[in-house]
Structure 1
Amino acid sequence: MSTRTWFITGVTSGLGREIAAQLLERGDRVAGTGRNTDALHEIAATYGDAFWPAELDVTDTDAVRTTIDRAAAELGRLDVVVNNAGYGMFGAAEEFTDAQIAHHLATNLTGSITVARAALPHLRANHGGRIVQISTYGGQAAGPGGSLYSAGKFGIEGFMEALAAEVAPFGIGVTIIEPGGTATGFRRNAVLSTPMTAYDGTPAAMVRGLPASTRPSPGDPVKVAAAIIAATEAEPAPLRIVLGSDAYQYTCQALTERLAGIADQRDSAAAVDITD
């Protein structure tokens, strides 16, 4: 495949950095953003002009639009946009402050929406391209202690699923990536709520030990990144890609239980229809 130009948020660590590194090693160009300027400079020093760095907080709507427009202008085009910036936030819903919730959703939900919307004019001008949304199996399977995290991921998956149908006429594909646990430091960097004693011993309290957990993550970030890159080369664009045996297990279980929960409601659902 010919050289492509990528715009990736959150390239300074974790999965975003691994994706960027693999792309740069194979000769693609990457416009990479993040809040850690030292890490951005480090990547730029390694890969030179193939890497276009920009400090960016995706909660800053104006900055997102300006940065994407500038990247497209200076690099000539954008072919693939990867929404990777985000973070985990775990605890009982009642334990978080309003400010924590607002920032989390501004990053994980509306930040990704803003990036996609800002990129669309450039992709339409190219008569094609891809938008890749890094989600999680938590965007399909919600559990106690993950209510706010899943709120953002369920929301962005709904947005991207609808967006895929909206932009298909322009030759733009949308793919949602649903990884399982991956050895990227995600758990270590997760934000936890301030515990309330009322939730001691409840299912929601199980996430309190997440950052210090020594349980190994099954996902290999090198393989996950390679699979994400490969997904952007598939035609037509796959709507969802599940990565990791744990992600597959929990997603299938959640979808099966969801369908089972409404399977016997056909008659009761129809009972409220308007009849002559």
Structure 2
Amino acid sequence: MTTRTWLITGVNSGFGRQLAEQLLARGDRVAGTVRREGSADDLRDAHGDRFRLAHLDVTDLPRIREVVDAAFADLGRIDVVVVNAGYGLFGAAEEVSDEQVLHQITTNLLGSIQTARAALPHLRAQGGGRLIPISSVAGIAAHAGASLYHASKWGVEGFFEALAQEVAPFGVEVTLVEPGGARTAFAGSSLRTGAPLAAYDGTPAAFVRGLREGAPVPIVGDPVKIAARVIDSAEQRPAPLRLVLGSDSYRAVTASLRARLAQVEPQEASAAGTDA
């Protein structure tokens, strides 16, 4: 097992926390960020100089580069950058406010883009490394009532798929992680909703109201196993561009891709009919 140094945004809970705990337990070094100060002090107290902690709200876009630059300056080589910080905004598109829309896109999409952009000069200079954005099944398959969350995650997918091609000549690889539902605090602290409109009562977009009210939802994903698979993926060469985790994710991803092909393939002749 190779000992590595990792930078992970959002280590206070969820996948970020699981990754940090497992990596530190096996002897790796971790630079972690948290939005809420004090939320990961126990990791710093337990692991000393193998855990570097910084405060970062990824909606403060200029601050991202400062934090990433400081981590590389302090630790030297960082092998893997996990772009994890984010949350879910749910509700019909009409139900969320303009401020909520902006905050969702800034956090999940712009924060991810700027984290990667801040890391790239360092990864190129050291001759390579791995970027691991934590996307979601929601980055490939869409569901009513999550349009803004999908917008942020589909943007992550497009950005990092193109970025993987741009940075391959420098030895920098990308793995998009596509987890399904997992038994984390996502449905609590990481889930936000719009103000319900009566017009959407009983429609597919209203499914999230049950989540907020604590309705039981079958969740198959084990965050410990998911984090372990993400860690293992850093050893794979070449890097998998996408890492689908959870049987629910696999079913939703494959169904979505098949449906898209079924919609597009019959249009081959009509598409060619617009050629010059």
Shorter-chain TM range is: over 0.9
Measure how far apart 1:188 and its partner are: 1.9
Residue 241 of structure 1 and its aligned partner are, at CA, apart by 0.4
Moved more, 34-43 or 175-184: 34-43
**Matches for 1:23-34 after TM superposition, within 5 Å:** 23-34=23-34
CA contact (8 A) 2:44 2:52 kept: yes
Extract structure 1 runs of 4+ deviating beyond 2 A: 213-216
Offset from partner CA, 1:21-67 (integer Å, 9 cap, x none):
10001111000001122122121011111000000011111110000
Distance 1:215 1:264 in 2: 37
Verify the 8 A CA contact 1:15 1:221 in the aligned structure 2: yes
| Cα distance in 2 between the residues matched to 1:121 and 1:73 | 12
Equivalent residues in 2 for 1:15-94, closer than 5 Å = 15-94=15-94
Supply the distance in 2 between the matched residues of 1:233 and 1:37 (Cα, whole angstroms): 32
Deviation at 1:209, TM superposition (A): 1.2
Q: Equivalent residue for 2:220?
A: 218
Kindly indicate whether the alpha-carbon contact (under 8 Å) linking 1:86 and 1:107 is maintained by their aligned counterparts in 2: yes
- Work out which of the residue numbers 231, 234, 237 in structure 1 matches 2:236: 234
Map of 2:122 onto structure 1 = 122
SS at match of 1:94: coil
The residue aligned with 1:196 is 197
2:143 match: secondary structure? coil
Moved more, 205-214 or 122-131: 205-214
Render the CA deviation track for 1:228-260: whole Å, top value 9, x for unaligned: 001111000100000000000000000000110
**Residues 152-205 of structure 1, C-alpha deviations (whole Å, 9 max, x = no match):** 000100000000000000001000000010001111231011000111111101
Amino acid at match of 1:185: A
TM-score (norm 1): 0.98
Q: Decide whether the 8 Å contact of 1:91 with 1:192 is kept in 2.
A: yes
- 36-45 vs 96-105, which moves further: 36-45
Question: 1:251 is matched with which residue: 241, 253, 264?
Answer: 253
**Aligned residue identity for 2:244:** V
For residue 247 of structure 1, what is the amino acid of its counterpart?
S
Range with bigger deviation, 17-26 or 184-193? 184-193
| 2:206 alignment counterpart | 205
- SS where residue 233 of structure 1 aligns? coil
Separation in structure 2 between the aligned mates of residue 209 and residue 10 of structure 1, nearest angstrom: 26
Q: Which residue of 2 aligns with 1:270?
A: 272
Alpha-carbon distance in structure 1 between the residues aligned to 2:36 and 2:3 = 27
1:43-93: per-residue Cα shift (whole Å, max 9, x none)?
Answer: 101111100000001111111000000010011121100011000111000
Deviates more, 1:237-246 or 1:33-42: 33-42
State the Cα RMSD in Å. 0.8
SS at match of 1:186: helix
Cα distance in 2 for partners of 1:62, 1:188 equals 28
CA deviation profile, 1:76-114 (whole Å, cap 9, x unmatched): 121100011000111000111111000000000000000
Following superposition, the deviation at residue 2 of structure 1 comes to 3.0
CA contact (8 A) 1:183 1:216 kept: no
Identity %: 57
- The CA distance in 2 between the partners of 1:203 and 1:64, in whole Å, is 37
Q: Classify the secondary structure of the residue corresponding to 2:39.
A: helix
- Spell out, residue by residue over 1:130-163, the C-alpha distance to the aligned partner (whole angstroms, 9 max, x if none): 0001011110000100111100000100000000
Contact 2:72 2:122 in 1 (8 A): yes
Letter in 2 for 1:225: A
Matched residues, number: 274
Contact 1:139 1:154 in 2 (8 A): yes
- Structure 2 residues without counterparts, runs of 5 or longer: none
Contact 2:211/2:217 (<8 A) preserved: no
Equivalent pair of 1:79/1:130 in contact (CA under 8 Å): yes
Residue 192 of structure 1 aligns with an amino acid whose one-letter code is T
State whether structure 2 residue 103 is matched by structure 1 residue 110: no
